[in-house]
Amino acid sequence: MDFKNSRLWYGVVAVIVVLIVIAYAAGWFGGTPLPAPQQ
């Protein structure tokens, strides 16, 4: 098996999971997108 492909797939799955978590968080907090960074 190619470990590089395995790591690539783990990275893709991790990104998808993060996006889903962000979508759920946005829904829970009233559907607002990620808060803009204060500068």
User: In this predicted model, what pLDDT tens digit does every residue of 1-39 receive, in sequence order?
Assistant: 677 788 899 999 999 999 988 877 777 666 555 566 666
Domain assignment present for 33: no
What one-character DSSP code corresponds to residue 33? -
- pLDDT value at residue 36: 61
Question: Is 20 domain-assigned?
Answer: yes
Task: Output the pLDDT for position 4.
Answer: 79
Is residue 14 one of the residues assigned to a domain?
yes
- Residue 8 maps to a domain: yes
CA atoms of 12 and 6, how far apart (whole Å):
10
Number of domains in the chain: 1
Chain-centroid distance, C-alpha 11 = 10
**Which parts of the chain fold into alpha helices (H)?**
3-28
Check: pTM over 0.75? Answer yes or no.
no
- Any idea of the CA torsion for 22, 26, 32, 37, to the nearest 10 degrees? -40
> Residue 39's pLDDT is what?
63
